[in-house]
Chain A
Amino acid sequence: MGERGGKRVLEKGNVAMAEGAVQAGCRCYFGYPITPQNEVPEYLSKRLPEVGGVFLQAESEIASINMVLGAVSTGVRAMTSSSSPGISLMQEGISFLAGSQLPALIVNVQRCGPGLGGIKTTQGDYYQATRGGGHGDYRTLVLAPWSVQEMFDFPFLAFELAEKYRNPVLMLPDAVLGQMKDAVVMTPPGPIITYEKDYVLDGAKGRPARNIRSMYLEDDDQELLNYALRTKYEIMEANEQRHEETETDDAEVVIVAYGTAARLALSAMQQAREEGLRVGLFRPVTLWPFPAKALRALARRVKRFLVVEMNLGQMVDDVRAVLGPEVEVDFFGRPGGGMPTPREILAHLHGRGVDKGNEWADKVDAAVDHYVWWREGVLQPREVSPVGHKGVADE
């Protein structure tokens, strides 16, 4: 984000994000505790009252996101944060925000799953974040920070874009970015941009009544709303693709990675360059809209890409869809709390897999073997009669 005034300090990603949100004008936070993002509510419970804001620990994630919906209906900047399982609980509310066309910031400090999972880091929620996540035909704009500085800066951009498009905006860091400390300048990256809000519910005295809703039962209204939303999403796709390139000018191979995985990839790139390998880094900053235009432009001269993720392959689908079958797209990822090491990424750049030794291979085999039921012949189907339903099993 360039040079700007202010002191460089060492701060935690979660805290920097929370402070960034406050400086960006957020005045309401509703949330429910979950590791690894608990520094966010901890910090805001103290900070928001200082600026006349509201901090409220709700009884659940479902309550939190609906409180956000209520708050933003009045025009105030409001947010919630959680981690993967909690974000899953919020999907209904996010869908309602999208259907009601309301702005909000939702931060998902990802932890590994599926299920309750663990508290280690991951990037397992890419699909959920970029495909809407809840029910219905909608999208959320998704920002992927890779540094504590961007953790601080992105709330400014998120609220601006949320209000511009009247659409929920997600920030998608992971546990490492939430927990790590890094140098950060905590002064606003620029002026705060807002937009006219002619939809807010602030009392109808002297004007016609307004109605915010996401339910349309009459005639073709729901279908028509979806066409209108599609047009909005197309405008977002045209205008809001963001990415960053590092040393791609002379690159023969380009790593595509976002967030923490991009940090690991940067180290691999630096090591590869020392070995004389011409490697570059393409980092999507918006995951939706995916920076397809720039990636396609890069593929005019680069013929090999390596996608690195902290999952078993999600963004790689978007990369392959954008680049088509003519371009070689390799993938390397580690799921469930595993982080690709720069050394492992480097091995993949050299075109060879990672040999992690027999011990690790045996562990993986043992884990797979543990679930024996999918082995041929182990699981036997059996027929049952549909008992218990009157008039079906009985004569």
Chain B
Amino acid sequence: MLFEFMTAGFGGQGILYLGDVLAGAALREGRNATFLPTYGAAMRGGTANCVVIISDKAIGAMTLDQPHAAVLMNQPSFEKFQAVLRPGGLIVANTSLVDPSSLRRTDLRVVWIPATQISKDVVGTERSANIVALGALLKAEPIVETATIEAIFRDGATGKRRAMLDKNLAALRAGLDFQD
């Protein structure tokens, strides 16, 4: 099974972290995974995106062909990347920053979730919107086990990141519990 995933949004929205966590979780579950970020010109407020490929076999291309799923966190990403998804593909769209009326495709599954707003409500800042969206993605498409993601959060919660653990777990749960 080959699963192609991409996520895009503003720099600073945790786009690369979302992809990194997803790829890391697949690896922990014994599968192969690659993670390819944009680099160099990407910065806070600019655009950022990354590609994650998950497979049970050796992974050739680390690039996108037709993604099965995408998490699109802002309006420019939504307008640009909805075109690349395969028919029947899944989009998790952050309606805090995406206008649903700009959907042009009719052959996609779309989870509309105000991830930025939920992040503010649940953890007090916008910063966990990526994890809320990840939760919504896993609910619609359980690519990896929720427990694996939680284990990554726990293992990464050292030093100054320790304070993020509870926020990440709460944000993930909020995404999983969200009723579209």
| 5 tightest Cβ-Cβ pairs between the two chains A and B | A266-B60, A267-B60, A181-B35, A267-B61, A119-B40
A8 contacts chain B at the CB level, 8 A cutoff: yes
Q: How far is the CA of A260 from the CA of B60 in the complex (A)?
A: 9
B95 contacts chain A at the CB level, 8 A cutoff: no
B126 contacts chain A at the CB level, 8 A cutoff: no
Using a Cβ cutoff of 8 Å, how many contacts connect chains A and B?
A: 66
Q: How far is the CA of A279 from the CA of B35 in the complex (A)?
A: 27
Residues of A within 8 A of B61 (CB): 263-264, 266-267, 341-342
* Chain B 1-47 residues near chain A, CB threshold 8 A: 20, 23-24, 27, 32-37, 39-41
Chain A residue at minimal CB-CB distance from B19: A181
B163 contacts chain A at the CB level, 8 A cutoff: no
- Give the total of A residues in contact with B, Cβ under 8 Å: 26
A319 contacts chain B at the CB level, 8 A cutoff: no
15 residue pairs A–B, Cβ–Cβ below 8 Å: A8-B27, A10-B20, A10-B23, A10-B24, A10-B33, A36-B40, A119-B41, A176-B62, A179-B36, A181-B20, A266-B60, A267-B60, A341-B65, A342-B60, A342-B65
Asked if B35 contacts A10 (CB within 8 A), the reply is yes
Take A264-B61, A264-B63, A270-B60 as given contacts and tell me if A180 and B24 are in contact as well, using a CB distance cutoff of 8 Å.
no
A182 contacts chain B at the CB level, 8 A cutoff: yes
A183 contacts chain B at the CB level, 8 A cutoff: yes
Q: How far is the CB of B23 from chain A (nearest CB, A)?
A: 6
B58 contacts chain A at the CB level, 8 A cutoff: yes
Q: How far is the CA of A9 from the CA of B24 in the complex (A)?
A: 8
Asked if A179 contacts B39 (CB within 8 A), the reply is yes
> Contact residues of A with B, CB < 8 Å?
8-10, 35-36, 119, 175-176, 179-183, 260, 263-270, 339, 341-343
Kindly name the residue among B20, B24, B39, B61 whose own CB sees the greatest number of chain A CB atoms within 10 A. Answer: B61
Q: How far is the CA of A192 from the CA of B36 in the complex (A)?
A: 31
Asked if B63 contacts A183 (CB within 8 A), the reply is no
Asked if B36 contacts A183 (CB within 8 A), the reply is no
Q: How far is the CA of A395 from the CA of B95 in the complex (A)?
A: 82
Take A181-B20, A181-B23, A267-B60 as given contacts and tell me if A176 and B40 are in contact as well, using a CB distance cutoff of 8 Å.
no
Asked if B39 contacts A119 (CB within 8 A), the reply is yes
Asked if A341 contacts B63 (CB within 8 A), the reply is yes
Chain B 59-95 near chain A by CB (<8 Å), digits 1 or 0: 1111101000000000000000000000000000000
Asked if B34 contacts A35 (CB within 8 A), the reply is no
Given A181-B23, A263-B62, A266-B60, 7 additional A-B pairs, CB 8 A: A10-B35, A180-B36, A263-B59, A267-B61, A267-B65, A339-B63, A343-B65
Chain A residue at minimal CB-CB distance from B62: A180
Q: How far is the CA of A24 from the CA of B121 in the complex (A)?
A: 50
Asked if B32 contacts A183 (CB within 8 A), the reply is yes
Q: How far is the CA of A35 from the CA of B42 in the complex (A)?
A: 12
Chain A residue at minimal CB-CB distance from B66: A343
Residues of B within 8 A of A36 (CB): 39-40
Q: How far is the CB of A2 from chain B (nearest CB, A)?
A: 14
Residues of A within 8 A of B59 (CB): 182, 263
Q: How far is the CA of A343 from the CA of B60 in the complex (A)?
A: 13
Q: How far is the CA of A9 from the CA of B60 in the complex (A)?
A: 18
Chain B residue at minimal CB-CB distance from A265: B60
Asked if A35 contacts B27 (CB within 8 A), the reply is no
Take A181-B34, A341-B65 as given contacts and tell me if A266 and B58 are in contact as well, using a CB distance cutoff of 8 Å.
yes
* Chain B 108-156 residues near chain A, CB threshold 8 A: none
Q: How far is the CB of A306 from chain B (nearest CB, A)?
A: 15
Q: How far is the CB of B54 from chain A (nearest CB, A)?
A: 11
Take A263-B61, A264-B63, A342-B61 as given contacts and tell me if A10 and B36 are in contact as well, using a CB distance cutoff of 8 Å.
no
Instruction: Choose among B39, B40, B57, B62 the residue that contacts A182 (Cβ–Cβ < 8 A).
Output: B62
Residues of B within 8 A of A269 (CB): 60
Asked if A183 contacts B33 (CB within 8 A), the reply is yes
Chain A residue at minimal CB-CB distance from B16: A181
Instruction: Choose among A9, A175, A182 the residue that contacts B34 (Cβ–Cβ < 8 A).
Output: A182
Q: How far is the CA of A233 from the CA of B58 in the complex (A)?
A: 35
Residues of B within 8 A of A179 (CB): 36-37, 39
Chain A residue at minimal CB-CB distance from B58: A266
Q: How far is the CA of A343 from the CA of B65 in the complex (A)?
A: 8
Q: How far is the CA of A266 from the CA of B63 in the complex (A)?
A: 12
Residues of B within 8 A of A183 (CB): 27, 32-33
